[in-house]
């Protein structure tokens, strides 16, 4: 599609000899938007109406927000852009010629905020999850049962040949899995093989609850992830494919092969996105050799690397 300045609503009396130019007429600088829509990628997004004043002879105009590509405007210079990152965002419009050379650019600063919701259930509603409250279980403050798939993701219990039909846990964990889904989907992951969520127990399983430091599994705020399965049926197994890092921290250590690199990339992206507070990998200790333990421990924020066999942490 070629865009001539004559097709732009905001340009009057232009000719094809006009120099290429592009400028935002909408959104206005400093405009604020809320991430209250479920985007096609699985992220909660703000729908931002973009309108450009385009001058000269250009082949196409693309709009980006940081490193994220939002799409090309139409012949009228319009685009409804889905922006998912919270905070200040810089939208950039870039005009190109037929050969892909940059002809002109323009930027506008806007703000993307989280929606104001009443409770965790309202977050699940924004993600359009099909869920019901309960059943009640000891330790679980806000029990939820979600019908699967969850934001496009299937789950299967390790050792089972059949996918789960539902997933049970605290509402906060269900919200975190909804947040994780678009990151998994961006890597063509369509199925998660897990080793469970709810187990009313101590971290030190030689002790008896509740007179102990309780595991986040006791509150249904943790899940153990054993394998990631991509659309072509490839399994990325924590047990078989993760190579334990002997130096550096988990997210900067060198990887050994493609599957090891894939597992490192995905789990580190999820931690960087603050989906979970604690992430334990096989680097932590031998009890985690076959899974990633992820949980929502209040006040914690780390992905743990071992130096030998450390003191007990949640597993």
Q: Is the pLDDT of residue 208 over 50?
A: yes
pLDDT value, residue 1 = 52
Best CA proximity match to 153, nearest among 223, 97, 208: 223
pLDDT value, residue 302 = 84
Instruction: For the chain, give the percent of residues with pLDDT over 90.
Output: 84
Taking the C-alpha atoms of residue 66 and residue 255, their distance in angstroms, rounded to an integer, is: 28
For residue 192, is it within any domain? yes
Residue that is last in its domain, among 84, 113, 142 = 113
pLDDT value, residue 59 = 97
Q: Where are the alpha helices (DSSP H) in the chain?
A: 120-126, 171-186, 238-241, 258-272
Quote the mean pLDDT of the chain: 92
CATH of the domain at 63: 2.60.40.10
Taking the C-alpha atoms of residue 160 and residue 237, their distance in angstroms, rounded to an integer, is: 15
Secondary structure (3-state) at 286: helix
Q: Are 214 and 139 in contact (CB under 8 A)?
A: yes
The verdict on 152 and 277 lying in the same domain is yes
- Tens of pLDDT, residue by residue over 134-177, are 999 999 999 999 999 999 999 999 999 999 999 999 999 999 99
Neighbours of 96 (CB within 10 A): 18
pLDDT value, residue 248 = 73
CA dihedral 132, 133, 136, 142 (to 10 degrees): 130
For residue 311, is it within any domain? no
For residue 108, is it within any domain? yes
- Tens of pLDDT, residue by residue over 64-111, are 999 999 999 999 999 999 999 999 999 999 999 999 999 999 999 999
pLDDT value, residue 16 = 52
The verdict on 291 and 195 lying in the same domain is yes
Taking the C-alpha atoms of residue 18 and residue 123, their distance in angstroms, rounded to an integer, is: 49
The verdict on 188 and 224 lying in the same domain is yes
Tell me the mean pLDDT in the region 12-21.
Answer: 66
pLDDT value, residue 246 = 79
Taking the C-alpha atoms of residue 157 and residue 223, their distance in angstroms, rounded to an integer, is: 11
The verdict on 143 and 272 lying in the same domain is yes
Taking the C-alpha atoms of residue 35 and residue 57, their distance in angstroms, rounded to an integer, is: 35
β-pairing, 222-230 vs 166-170, is: unpaired
Distances (CA, A) of 280 to 45, 250, 295, 304, 309: 29, 10, 9, 6, 13
For residue 313, is it within any domain? no
Which range marks the domain in which residue 9 is found? 3-113
Q: Is the pLDDT of residue 15 over 90?
A: no
The verdict on 237 and 91 lying in the same domain is no
CA 167, 170, 175, 181 dihedral sign is: negative
pLDDT value, residue 310 = 44
Radius of gyration of the chain (CA): 24
pLDDT value, residue 186 = 97
- pTM, rounded to two decimals: 0.89
Q: HSE on the CB side for 186, CA within 13 Å?
A: 14
Tell me the mean pLDDT in the region 25-46.
Answer: 97
Q: Are 267 and 245 in contact (CB under 8 A)?
A: no
Residue 262 sits at φ, ψ, to 5 deg, of -60, -50
* Residues near 251 by beta carbon (within 8 Å), at least 6 away in sequence: 264, 268, 271, 272, 303
Q: Is the pLDDT of residue 4 over 60?
A: no
Q: Where are the alpha helices (DSSP H) in 91-221?
A: 120-126, 171-186
Give the residue, 173 or 284, on which the prediction is more confident.
Answer: 173
The verdict on 88 and 215 lying in the same domain is no
The verdict on 81 and 177 lying in the same domain is no
pLDDT value, residue 308 = 45
Name which of 5-9, 170-174, 192-196 the model is least confident about: 5-9
For residue 315, is it within any domain? no
Q: How many domains does the chain have?
A: 2
Q: Is the pLDDT of residue 258 over 60?
A: yes
pLDDT value, residue 156 = 98
Q: Is the pLDDT of residue 306 over 70?
A: no
């Amino acid at each position: 599609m070629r865009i001539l300045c004559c097709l732009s609503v905001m340009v009057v009396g232009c000719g094809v000899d006009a120099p290429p130019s592009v400028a935002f007429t909408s959104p206005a600088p400093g405009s604020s938007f809320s991430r209250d829509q479920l985007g096609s990628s699985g992220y909660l997004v703000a729908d931002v109406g973009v309108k450009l004043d385009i001058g000269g002879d250009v082949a196409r105009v693309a709009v980006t927000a940081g490193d994220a590509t939002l799409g090309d405007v139409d012949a009228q210079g319009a685009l409804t852009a889905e922006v998912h990152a919270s905070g200040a965002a810089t939208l950039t419009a870039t005009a190109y010629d037929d050969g892909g050379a940059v002809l002109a650019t323009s930027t506008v600063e806007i703000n993307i905020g989280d929606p104001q919701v009443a409770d965790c259930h309202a977050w699940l509603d924004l993600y359009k999850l099909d869920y019901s409250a309960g059943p009640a279980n000891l330790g679980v403050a806000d029990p939820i049962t979600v019908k699967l798939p969850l934001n496009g993701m299937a789950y299967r219990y390790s050792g089972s040949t059949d996918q789960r039909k539902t997933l049970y846990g605290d509402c906060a964990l269900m919200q975190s899995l909804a947040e994780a889904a678009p990151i998994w989907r961006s890597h063509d992951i369509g199925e998660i093989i897990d080793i469970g969520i709810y187990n009313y127990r101590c971290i030190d399983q030689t002790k008896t609850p509740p007179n102990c430091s309780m595991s986040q599994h006791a509150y249904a705020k943790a899940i153990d992830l054993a394998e990631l399965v991509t659309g072509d049926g490839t399994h990325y197994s924590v047990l078989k494919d993760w190579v334990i890092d002997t130096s550096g921290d988990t997210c900067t250590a060198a990887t050994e092969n493609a599957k090891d690199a894939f597992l490192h990339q995905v789990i580190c992206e999820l931690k960087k996105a603050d989906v979970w507070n604690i992430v334990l990998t096989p680097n932590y200790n031998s009890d985690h050799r076959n899974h990633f333990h992820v949980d929502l421990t209040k006040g914690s924020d780390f992905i743990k690397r071992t130096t030998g066999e450390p003191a007990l942490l949640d597993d």
